[in-house]
Structure 1
Amino acid sequence: MGLKDDLDRFREVGEQRREDLAEFIQYGELGASGRDDVRIPIKIVDLPAFEYDKLDQGGVGQGEGAQPGDPVGQPQPQPGDGDEEGDPGEEGGEHEYYEMDPEEFAEELDEELGLDLDPKGKRVIEEKEGPYTDITRSGPNSTLDFERMFKEGLKRKMAMDFDEEYLKEVLKVDGVGPQTAFEWARGESIPVSKAWLVDAYSKIPDDEKTTWASLEEVEENVDREPIQAKIQREGIKHVPFRREDERYRHPEIIEEKEKNVVVVNIRDVSGSMREKKRELVERVFTPLDWYLTGKYDNAEFVYIAHDAEAWQVEREEFFGIRSGGGTKISSAYELAQQLLEEYPWSEWNRYVFAAGDSENSSNDTEENVIPLMEAIPANLHAYVETQPTGTAINATHAEEVQSHFGDSENVAVAYVSGPEDVTDAIYDILSTEGGDDE
């Protein structure tokens, strides 16, 4: 095994030693990743290096001035390594990451947290012919369902057929003519016509018309052959088809639907939302964005910041903004309702995620926010309370929302007081979504 094989092996070990997904979400560096590229740091694995004898016994090839324990072949300073001799270089060192796309992230998060979100298709992008499952009474001959027609004809044949030889023996009973035999056959549910009996009786020689003394004697001495056995013995010579047996196959029309999602992320940026609270919002919202990007064919994101007023921002600004204003959460939902008009509920899955420290202006939650949440159709509404030091006296928004909606299948409330609560909050949110109530 050569040096290259050793290095490849160490890289493989490094990937296996990347941070656990839950640990990464709770404590890792999220900022190194983009929305479509999740980068998880690899725990450092030192590559092996030859070192001088630490027992100070010298050794072959030890250069002048080398100290025991120094790595062999330590690189010498090169021009450009520093601005001047002894100055540190300006370029940062490279860090190793395990990179995954949002699809892989979503798969791993499903496995890690026991989730299984099944994205719903909304917008019809194509209609195509599926299996020939629809049946009609008319159509081109090429689509005639012959198998079905044959089965119908075969059922009719089995219902209409009878053991002719047995009936001929019945006609040989002394004193039994076509009329008596016909009445007996009707009682036995044998589908024979009187005309057939008359014709069969006329062909029996006179000396055989007294072969049997009674019908009971025929039953005791002559075996009646079941219709199935007769068909197996003789084969199917004729199947009585009728016009009403004809059915024509038509293809089922299948709608191909694109799985579209729009995610509205709302964040309180008022003066009470200090750094630790903002960081907890980022730790919850960022993995949710990655997860939904990985689950849906087409994912779009809307970011709304609010204090007493709300405004739309870019993702890059969303987690860092802080203002000194008050708080009116309903302003964000009013803006969200306007922006979602571009994403019709009939064509888009919708998620509305809001986060803050649960502080809100007086009566705003009950009088404005809750009615707006009920008025905005969405797969899921969620509110995440971030209170690192415990709930403040006037931080009641999350409790009011939870109390009003109870165990609703499209409203989730999560409480995060530290990084250790983040994965539980993500699970609470994503496991709440119920059916698609359009």
Structure 2
Amino acid sequence: MGLREDLERYREVGEAKREDLADFIQYGDLGQSLPDEINIPIKIVDLPEFAYDRRDKGGIGQGEPDVGDPVGEPQPQPGDGDEEGDPGDESGDHDYYEMDPEEFAEELDDELGLDLEPKGKEVIEEKEGDFTDMTRTGPDSTLDFERMFKEGLKRKLAMDFDPDFLEEVLKIDGWGPDRTFSWARENAINVSKHWLEEAYRRIPDDERTTYDSIEEVEESVTRRSTAQKIKEEGITHVPFRKEDERYRYPEIIEEREKNVVVVNIRDVSGSMREKKRELVERTFTPLDWYLTGKYDNAEFVYIAHDAEAWEVERDEFFGIRSGGGTKISSAYELAAAILDERYPWSDWNRYVFAAGDSENSRNDTSENVIPLMDEIPANLHAYVETQPDGKAINATHAEEVDDHFGESNEVAVSYVNSPEDVTDAIYEILSTEAES
């Protein structure tokens, strides 16, 4: 195996050492990634290299250590010491595996067992599909001859009869055309009375009393079905009619753009300390990546709130902390106004994700937030409670929302008390929307 193959093998080993997606979401440095490029750490595998031993061992032909160019760096020797620190106390270097949101969404689907099918909203194009629809008029080139032939053949099978057998029936003593016609109708033989009269005229008088009964005819004469006649003689005529004509035309397919707007709401009041903010970021950031990967066009709105709400940029969203109180309904009021103005429900899929420590102003959840959640049309509303240090007595918002909406497929409530809970929360949110 050559050096090139060795290098490639080591790269593959490094790729295999890419951090697990769930571990990356729970514990990784999400800040190294961009909205459209997720960077997942890879442990670098040191490649083998030649090293020059600078110790003088003596011997014939031993040159000075500084003669020639060294290959690789000299390796530390026992007793050399390490002024930078003790051996083994430094973490390994990392490279990054770059993943776009589409690949991230696909891998997260596989890892968590998700099955979210994005919904198309705005019609952007109508195009012709397969020629599967039928009309009674059209150009000759689109005439469905196969269908027309089948219709004609069915008619032939239904209308055809065995003329030789009927001629023998006409020879029953006392029957003639009238009695034969009645018998034919009773036996679903589609023969006209005119045909029978013409055939009877051709029969000599002395042959019109050949048989005494129909049973005698059936015993004496072999009767052929239409299918048997076609098999033996082929088809000389298929009775086509105008009403059999059908012309194929293409099915019209509407191409719908899969647009999504995600409204991220975060409590930035004084109680939302660093650990709580980090859990919000660990939950919301992968959700943003996932939905970006699933939809053709994804836009994001970030709303921060204490007792009042205001729109912020993403870079500010996870770091803001105020000293004010909390009124969650202020964020939903602002979200409703933004959605109505910029993202009409007829054109956009909507997700409204909120997070906080479940502390809220007295009665605000029941009197204001829940009615607003009912009034804002969305694919999914979700609330994420973050309580890493234990729950406060007045932190009841998540429970009130959960109790009100119960098993609704349009509202998800999840509880994140540590990084280990993050992937469960993401699954709870996305699987709820998938079910709806």
What is the correspondence of 1:351-430 to structure 2 with a 5 Å cutoff?
A: 351-430=351-430
Contact 1:355 1:383 survives alignment (8 Å): yes
How has the CA–CA distance of structure 1 residues 200 and 3 changed in structure 2, closer, same or farther, with 3 Å as cutoff? same
**In structure 2, what is the Cα distance between the partners aligned to 1:293 and 1:153?**
55
Can you give the 5+ residue segments of structure 1 that lack an aligned partner in the other structure? 66-70, 77-85, 88-92
After superposition, the C-alpha distances for 1:221-255 in whole angstroms (9 at most, x for unaligned) are 22211111112222222222233323333322211
What is the aligned partner in structure 1 of residue 9 from structure 2? 9
**In structure 1, what is the Cα distance between the partners aligned to 2:58 and 2:291?**
61
What is the aligned partner in structure 2 of residue 90 from structure 1? none
What is the aligned partner in structure 1 of residue 261 from structure 2? 262
Amino acid corresponding to residue 176 of structure 1 in structure 2? W
Structure 1 residue 74: Cα displacement: 1.8
How has the CA–CA distance of structure 1 residues 64 and 53 changed in structure 2, closer, same or farther, with 3 Å as cutoff? closer
**In structure 2, what is the Cα distance between the partners aligned to 1:173 and 1:198?**
14
**In structure 2, what is the Cα distance between the partners aligned to 1:223 and 1:378?**
75
What is the aligned partner in structure 1 of residue 80 from structure 2? none
More deviation in 102-111 or 45-54? Answer: 45-54
What is the aligned partner in structure 1 of residue 171 from structure 2? 172
How has the CA–CA distance of structure 1 residues 323 and 75 changed in structure 2, closer, same or farther, with 3 Å as cutoff? farther
SS at match of 2:311: strand
**In structure 2, what is the Cα distance between the partners aligned to 1:346 and 1:435?**
21
What is the aligned partner in structure 2 of residue 343 from structure 1? 343
SS at match of 2:412: strand
What is the correspondence of 1:42-61 to structure 2 with a 5 Å cutoff?
A: 42-50=42-50
What is the aligned partner in structure 1 of residue 222 from structure 2? 223
What is the aligned partner in structure 2 of residue 40 from structure 1? 40
What is the aligned partner in structure 2 of residue 310 from structure 1? 309
Relative to the length of structure 1, the TM-score reads 0.89
SS at match of 2:278: helix
Contact 1:135 1:247 survives alignment (8 Å): yes
**In structure 1, what is the Cα distance between the partners aligned to 2:166 and 2:299?**
80
Contact 2:44 2:93 survives alignment (8 Å): no
Q: Does 1:131 align with 2:130?
A: yes
| Corresponding residue pairs, total | 417
How has the CA–CA distance of structure 1 residues 137 and 413 changed in structure 2, closer, same or farther, with 3 Å as cutoff? same
**In structure 2, what is the Cα distance between the partners aligned to 1:161 and 1:74?**
99
Contact 2:52 2:72 survives alignment (8 Å): no
How has the CA–CA distance of structure 1 residues 327 and 214 changed in structure 2, closer, same or farther, with 3 Å as cutoff? same
What is the aligned partner in structure 2 of residue 30 from structure 1? 30
What is the aligned partner in structure 2 of residue 191 from structure 1? 190
What is the aligned partner in structure 1 of residue 105 from structure 2? 106
More deviation in 412-421 or 187-196? Answer: 187-196
**In structure 2, what is the Cα distance between the partners aligned to 1:41 and 1:243?**
71
What is the aligned partner in structure 2 of residue 18 from structure 1? 18
**In structure 2, what is the Cα distance between the partners aligned to 1:391 and 1:106?**
32
What is the correspondence of 1:215-294 to structure 2 with a 5 Å cutoff?
A: 215-294=214-293
What is the aligned partner in structure 2 of residue 79 from structure 1? none
SS at match of 1:359: coil
Relative to the length of structure 2, the TM-score reads 0.89
Amino acid corresponding to residue 357 of structure 1 in structure 2? D
State the Cα RMSD in Å.
2.6
SS at match of 1:270: coil
SS at match of 1:265: strand
After superposition, the C-alpha distances for 1:134-184 in whole angstroms (9 at most, x for unaligned) are 333333444333333322222222111111111111112233211121122
Amino acid corresponding to residue 415 of structure 2 in structure 1? Y
**In structure 1, what is the Cα distance between the partners aligned to 2:161 and 2:3?**
88
Can you give the 5+ residue segments of structure 2 that lack an aligned partner in the other structure? 76-82, 85-91
SS at match of 1:105: helix
Contact 1:379 1:434 survives alignment (8 Å): no
Contact 1:136 1:249 survives alignment (8 Å): yes
